[in-house]
Amino acid sequence: MLKFQAPRGTRDLLPVDQLKWSVVFNKIRTVVENFSFGQIETPIYENQNVFTKPIGAQTDIVEKEMFEVRRMATHPTDSDEEKDRYVLRPEYTAPVVRAYLEHGLASWPQPVKLWYWGPTFRYDRPQKGRFRQFTQFGLEIFGEASPTTDAFLILVLWQIYAQLGIDRLITIDINTIGDSVCRPKIRKTLHDYLQKSRAELCADCRRRLDINPMRVLDCKNEACQKTVRYAPEIVDLTCPACKNHFRQVLEHLDDLNIPYDLNPRLVRGLDYYTKTTFEVRPTDDTNRQSSLGGGGRYDDLVQIFGGQSTPAIGFAGGVDRTVDYLLDQNIQLKVEERPKLCLIQFGQLARRKSLTVVSKLSDIGYSLVVSFDKEGLNAQLKYADKMGAALCLIIGQKEALAEEIIVRNMIDGSQEIVSVSKLTEVLKRKIKEITK
């Protein structure tokens, strides 16, 4: 047993994992850049108020899952009492809205389209696909209320999943949860319906029933699911404008041949959503346990933060789950590897020369491997072989004095003596030959 291990619910990503993650990152970046989303990054921690009210004080995230961030004070004094409390971000949308207002993005030409990729933190019970630190990527569009924007956002993420090679394996669960006009009626109708079976609900739902009865609809507890099976459907309770909005979103998805499932109980775990809400899941995940991502409209959120009323919609995808799903599906996540070049030097003078040589090689598309502690040619050739080097640059005392270098092809064993001044040219040619 090692003395120290990564904290529960977190994991290390080693170089071999990072290569796979970078393939996913690059594919996502290519798609979002095609649609002119600009990348945003916000601090890893924020004032807790950024999340409490917008996400909802009664949600799992706010009630149970936030990590607090504090200065560790071995000898606390009064001045250590921070007025503000900070938490690790459990999601990105609220911080992005904060940044949107803080940096005056409301005065940019609308719509403002942003995307992000980074770590998020939730104190959850770790299990397969559920971590305490996980990476999210996501998209936000500010300043447009049209149902076409909803479909546009879904189209962009559909193209992301197509690039990742899983668009045929996934389904979008979609619903509408109304807006501030119809929400009071939705809440009252659901409350009155669920109130009759209050005793059968789990403790969380009994508590939430009076504050946000919609949350009971997507509770995973079996008894709650049974109770809501015949509950009134939200879409039937929405106002004509919300119904019309939703109908148009679905028409667009039909036009785009994007498969969706109408899920009348999908409300999402965060309070700030309005109108369209959706989740992406593997089609065979019929229990809806491992969504790859989710999103929806949040037309009131900018105002909740004190800005002008600004319609907006967003989506957040879980990178960990997506990468794991791709690997489960045997989808190759390979980057084009650059040929490895091993720098071999023996003797003090050669060692000094070797660094100067490397510093002068312009970017010719190689990846350098080198060990300065291994003495002798054989040990270094063995190392080059282990590292999978395609070429070796060999400098001994003789070559160092003659301003020359031996270039050895590790595949066929051929060698060439090259003057240092011609090295770039020769390497370019050789790398071209190897990668052809």
Q: For binding to ligand AMP (CB under 6 A), which residues are involved?
A: 91, 122, 124, 129-131, 134, 136, 269, 291-294, 316-318, 320-321
Q: Which residues contact 184 (CB under 8 A, 6 or more apart)?
A: none
- Of the candidates 92, 88, 105, which has an alpha carbon nearest to the alpha carbon of residue 139? 92
Largest CA distance in the chain: 93
Report the nearest approach of ligand AMP to the CB of residue 135 (Å).
8
- Of the candidates 434, 294, 324, 383, which has an alpha carbon nearest to the alpha carbon of residue 20? 324
Report the nearest approach of ligand AMP to the CB of residue 123 (Å).
9
How big is the chain, counted in residues? 436
Tokens describing residue 56: 């909802």
Nearer to ligand AMP, 153 or 390 (CB): 153
Please give, one letter per residue, the 3-state secondary structure of 59-109.
CHHHHHCCCEECCCCCCCCHHHCCCCCEEECCCCHHHHHHHHHHCCHHHCC
Distance (Å, rounded) from C-alpha 92 to C-alpha 121?
A: 10
Report the nearest approach of ligand AMP to the CB of residue 373 (Å).
41
Report the nearest approach of ligand AMP to the CB of residue 309 (Å).
23
Nearer to ligand AMP, 92 or 246 (CB): 92
- Count other Cβ atoms within 10 Å, centred on residue 50: 20
Nearer to ligand AMP, 65 or 404 (CB): 65
Q: Tell me, what DSSP letter sits at residue 213?
A: G
**Continuous segment of H or E residues that includes residue 377:** helix 377-386
Nearer to ligand AMP, 122 or 430 (CB): 122
Nearer to ligand AMP, 130 or 252 (CB): 130
Tokens describing residue 383: 């190392």
| Residue 284: burial class (beta carbons within 10 Å; 0-12, 13-18, 19+) | exposed
Report the nearest approach of ligand AMP to the CB of residue 283 (Å).
15
Report the nearest approach of ligand AMP to the CB of residue 221 (Å).
18
User: Are the beta carbons of 307 and 293 closer than 8 angstroms?
Assistant: no
Report the nearest approach of ligand AMP to the CB of residue 325 (Å).
9
Nearer to ligand AMP, 153 or 292 (CB): 292
Nearer to ligand AMP, 51 or 366 (CB): 51
Distance (Å, rounded) from C-alpha 296 to C-alpha 311?
A: 11
Report the nearest approach of ligand AMP to the CB of residue 44 (Å).
16
Nearer to ligand AMP, 264 or 396 (CB): 264
At residue 407, what is the residue type?
Answer: V
Residue, CB closest to ligand AMP: 318
